[in-house]
Structure 1
Amino acid sequence: MTIRVLLVDDELLVRTGLRATLSSEPGIEVVGEAGDGAEAVSEARRLRPDVVLMDVRMPRVDGISATRLVVEGNDSDGQPPAVVVLTTFENDDYVYDALLAGARGFLLKRAPVEDLLAAVRMAAEGDALLFPAKLRDLVSARDGRAAEPSERPPLPPLSEREADVLRAMARGLSNAEIAAELYVGVETVKTHVGSLLAKLRVRDRTQAVIRAYESGFVAPGL
């Protein structure tokens, strides 16, 4: 299956480079470009891409608002595109907010080509691009400005196994890796992940891990 990609960045040079890289890869097709968040939303609705590579810092409508509109504003007869946000800075508050808005993951603009291609494929397959070390850095950068531990919203009650799975997710383990570590089947892990998403009222694994950090259930320094 060909992965259809929409490129969103206010710099033409960045879009040109991304298009050249992605178009040369078998199985990936760049179906469109947008220069700001407002155009990104309209083009995503018109073109129905599988993946949107979204810059977070743009004029008019930034990548955070655009991500939310792309993820939540899709037609009811199909899945929304997977949004991967692009950033220049490792500890970018915009990225954190974009993840909360529904982005599947994030990628540095200077990332190697193989990381870019892997990100597009993982997003298209429905996987969260959860890079534990980078996400911990984002959380740590915010930690000094966060509420006191007593004021942090607690997680709902979790079973012992759900808690184990959430900790493993925070370490970036895949379902197969979690299954091997906990000596259970992959389908069992999927069931626990689904239960966690429902209990935490989040859309995906990335948001679940952010909730775990924000509640203090997982410490960003560990």
Structure 2
Amino acid sequence: MTAPLPAHPTRFNSTQVAVVIPAFNEADTVAEVIRVGLTLTPEVVVVSDGSGDATAAVAREAGARVLELMENGGKGPALKAALELTEAEFVVMLDADLMGLTREHLDLLLTPVLNGSLDMTIGVFEGGGFVSDWGNKLTPHLSGQRACRRAWLLAVPRLGEERWPEPPITDALKTTGANWDYVELPNVAQVVKEKKRGFWKGAQARTKMYADLLTYQVRKKRDGP
């Protein structure tokens, strides 16, 4: 796992890379994530997944290219839609509710993929706060902070069919023999669901999320690849 921050920003042709951000009711935080994304590349794509707040308007004002989905279909379909909106060779995937994100964190994710040492990086929080760190380290394979080639990600079976894209991506990493590793993201955290939605609604959303994640293999076996 990589810890040190890079001494200099990643150097690349800006048309090679896009930042993609699926977002659902993240008007309070998405602008700052976009701002950081724009320090890496001018192509920041936000897909508002049936949001009922001002997520789309805030994202546009912050400088992102925005697609609004009328219904909330889940992070998987939103991520696939974002990938289809860009032609960039590489993508950095970010959640819309991050706090403490900097350009250096994006370099940590992207550099090993650009230089060919890894096919995918997966960001893990370190020092951003007990709740975020604990949850992220308990299930690091569910992190939404990643970098890889866009074509590889688009080829992941069931990516746009699953509400949460991380289980299909994990499957594809195994079956394709991709070279990947976790990358520590110092001082980054997420706004927990209980804080965003209130304790009971947040807890219900979290329970539903984990239930959906845990039943992925059942759906895969039932529906086929």
Per the shorter chain, which TM-score range?
A: 0.3 to 0.5
Higher relative contact order (CA 8 A, sep 6+): 2
More strand by share: 2
Quick check: which has more Rg, 1 or 2? 1
Q: What TM-score results when the alignment is normalised by the length of structure 1?
A: 0.32
